[in-house]
Amino acid sequence: MSRIYKSLLLLLAGAALAAGSASAQQGRGTDYSSILNAPIVGEYTYFEEMIPGGDTVRLLTRIYLPEGEGPHPVVVTRTPYVYGGRGDNNALAREYARRGIGYIQQDCRGKGGSGGFYRPNVDERADGIALYKWLDAQPWCGDIGIFGSSYTALTGWIVADSLPDKVKAMYLSHYGVDRHISCFRAGLFREDIMSGWVIDNAEEDIVRPPRVPGQPVGENYYDFYLYRPQVEADEAILGQRLQYYRDWITHTDYTDPYWNTGVWADLKSASRAVNVPITIVAGQFDHHEEGTLLGFERLSEEVRAHSRLILGAWNHSFQPTPTHLPHDHSRDFNTTSDQFDWFYRILVKKETPEQEILAYAIGKDEWMKLDGWPLKPSEEKDFYLSAKQKGDKWNVLTLSDRKPGRKKVGYVYDPADPVYAVGGETLFTSQQRRGSRQQPEAGWRDDVLSFISEPLAEDLTIAGTVKVRLKVSTDVDDTAFAFTLSEITPDGKAYNMRTSITTLGYRNDLLGKRQTYRKGRKVRIEIVALPMVWTVRAGNSLRLDIKSSNFPEYAVHPNKAGVWAEQADVEIAHQRIFTGSRRNCVLQLPVLE
């Protein structure tokens, strides 16, 4: 297992992570007593039970309870991330129990002390239902709260429609409720998180790519990501056939039955099934942001009226992002203490919470209280892409609110030489690349077109979903177009704010079926990014890079029609972008006053 993944999972195993002072440094020796806002009422007891899962397999369940007979309120999580061994070794669990709330952690099937073989995602529903049925029958178990982050949040979502009445609240962070959306953008797989996760977590006897001394973390996986056809990369690189991974990468249509039956159908419907107050925590540079926000949006109106959405400025590891701007207040919200407070209010004090929606405004370094979600911008501000010829090159590319001239620009896209991402919100394994990073100079490659605005005359708060509309053509059967939106500071440094990608096969319909394209045909496309709240200060400029790849954030498009993962070779594409119309080439920003 890679060092970055192991360190992260050690954090996730114990509790929901903190975005504040107890964030990335949590561990068994952490003193949680200073951040849990309730008095100690006594000591605790610890014991373990081997509880039957969805069948005869028995699962290790670690139980911390307050002193006394009960019944006690308890919080529960199920996790595959178990590295601390057996016994009483969870500091946060002890602090919960000392304050009157039991803490229960079950090791997922095939992990830690549990029996069986670990099949990612597949057994969590049946095993979770069995656990809550068992808890419902225990006389010492009172009201229940369910919590989790990342995969451990999946184990909470997946049982939402089958919970006993004892369950009174949930607190889930950093996991999307729509698996296809978490895996794909316009038919292109999110390599750096999804493929990287498989390498790090497969229980099969695979050959994990070795680290090369001096090589950045995660880059030893790139040969796997780039193998063609990738549907055979498991056997060719890892030495084992991983059928679930092959299923993931080949079912590219959102409407495919694979994503709408079984575990993924259960996950997709989970949010609508929630019938208790829930706090949902998302991060603007977390690869699960989009699907996590969907979890809130899909709640019933009745449940949403008593639930919370927290959108912070952090990545999947709850590290503040970006760091080139003031971000002291990004740590004001601490998920470890907030999770305890949430459960204490509901399980102990029997309070009914009211709706709360908080979002951190990057650039302003402040938390905003919002009236609703999705965000409704005050207006949409358009910046048009323009090109002027200088000599034999199109090297004067601008963003402007003025009507552009009619020109076409282009570049050659070679999948054998992709553009490597410098920063991105859905990167993970490549730690040195994820988040907001200083960008290379404008147009640093011939296949990157950089459109730059004049310095802004006033602050601009972008709140919501950034979109780029283009009119394009190409000489291949299918291809990709991507963008990176950055802010340029007065000293000339550019930092990415949002990236995204689309393909002609899924143009303008991310959730539809694959379309065909006729070579040379001009078509309009829309590239949609993940939501954000970011204030670009007066004096800064905007930069929009247009390209056709952003590896390893997304799979490299081979310029062939059909499923990307099944292509054994690639073609070179000659891309054309047609400026000159307010409809054709525009950066559309949702603005909040």
- More confident call, 23 vs 553: 553
Q: Tell me the two tokens of residue 97.
A: 């129990």
Share of the chain above pLDDT 70, in %: 93
Read off the pLDDT of each residue in 58-86 and give the average, rounded to a whole number. 95
Residue 540 pLDDT greater than 60, yes or no: yes
Residue 11 pLDDT greater than 80, yes or no: no
CATH topology of domain 3-179+257-369: Rossmann fold (3.40.50)
Distance CA 412, CA 449 (A): 11
Instruction: Please report which confidence band the pLDDT of residue 408 belongs to, taking 50, 70 and 90 as the band edges.
Output: confident
The predicted structure's pLDDT at residue 529: 98
Residue 100 pLDDT greater than 90, yes or no: yes
The predicted structure's pLDDT at residue 16: 36
The predicted structure's pLDDT at residue 434: 95
What single-letter amino acid sits at 85?
Answer: G
* 64 φ/ψ angles, rounded to the nearest 5 degrees: -110, 125
The predicted structure's pLDDT at residue 8: 36
Residue 388 pLDDT greater than 90, yes or no: no
Read off the pLDDT of each residue in 317-340 and give the average, rounded to a whole number. 95
Q: Tell me the two tokens of residue 290.
A: 């989009």
Query: What mean pLDDT is reported for the chain?
Result: 92
What is the pTM (predicted TM-score) of this model? 0.93
Of 3.30.420.40, 1.20.1250.20, 2.60.120.260, 1.10.357.10, which CATH number belongs to 379-591?
A: 2.60.120.260
- More confident call, 279 vs 402: 279
Residue 3 pLDDT greater than 50, yes or no: no
The predicted structure's pLDDT at residue 427: 97
Instruction: Please report which confidence band the pLDDT of residue 580 belongs to, taking 50, 70 and 90 as the band edges.
Output: confident
Pairing of strands 278-285, 308-315: parallel
Distance CA 389, CA 395 (A): 7
Secondary structure of 278-341 as H, E, C letters: EEEEEEEECCCHHHHHHHHHCCCHHHHCCCEEEEEEEECCCCECCCCCCCHHHHCCCHHHHHHH
Residue 28 pLDDT greater than 50, yes or no: no
> Which strand (E) or helix (H) includes residue 220?
none
E-strand ranges in 80-132 read: 102-107
Q: How far is CA 403 from CA 141, 387, 452, 488, 583, in A?
A: 66, 12, 15, 23, 10
Query: pLDDT tens digits for 139-160?
Result: 999 999 999 999 999 999 999 9
The predicted structure's pLDDT at residue 76: 98
Instruction: Please report which confidence band the pLDDT of residue 401 belongs to, taking 50, 70 and 90 as the band edges.
Output: confident
Query: pLDDT tens digits for 170-227?
Result: 999 999 999 999 999 999 999 999 999 999 999 999 999 999 999 999 999 999 999 9
Distance CA 380, CA 587 (A): 10
The predicted structure's pLDDT at residue 546: 97
Instruction: Please report which confidence band the pLDDT of residue 29 belongs to, taking 50, 70 and 90 as the band edges.
Output: low
Pairing of strands 449-453, 393-400: parallel
Q: How far is CA 235 from CA 88, 246, 532, 562, in A?
A: 40, 11, 39, 22
Average the pLDDT over each of 345-349, 502-506, 584-588 and give the range with the smallest value: 584-588
Distance CA 85, CA 70 (A): 28
87: Cβ–Cβ under 8 A, 6 or more apart, which residues? none
Domain ranges of the chain: 3-179+257-369, 185-250, 379-591
Read off the pLDDT of each residue in 403-407 and give the average, rounded to a whole number. 72
The predicted structure's pLDDT at residue 330: 93
Residue 548 pLDDT greater than 50, yes or no: yes
The predicted structure's pLDDT at residue 191: 98
Read off the pLDDT of each residue in 281-291 and give the average, rounded to a whole number. 97
Q: Tell me the two tokens of residue 187.
A: 């038919």
3: Cβ–Cβ under 8 A, 6 or more apart, which residues? 217
Q: Tell me the two tokens of residue 26.
A: 């949590």
Convert 259-273 to b/e letters by CB count within 10 Å (16 or more is b): beeebbebbbebbeb
Residue 324 pLDDT greater than 90, yes or no: yes
- Examine residue 418 and say whether the peptide bond preceding it is cis (omega within 30 degrees of 0): no
Instruction: Please report which confidence band the pLDDT of residue 391 belongs to, taking 50, 70 and 90 as the band edges.
Output: low
Residue 395 pLDDT greater than 60, yes or no: no
Query: pLDDT tens digits for 101-148?
Result: 999 999 999 999 999 999 999 999 999 999 999 999 999 999 999 999
Q: Tell me the two tokens of residue 57.
A: 């397999």
Residue 19 pLDDT greater than 60, yes or no: no
Is the CB of residue 289 less than 8 Å from the CB of residue 326? no
The label of the residue with tokens 């590290």 reads: 319
Domains 3-179+257-369 and 379-591 share a fold: no
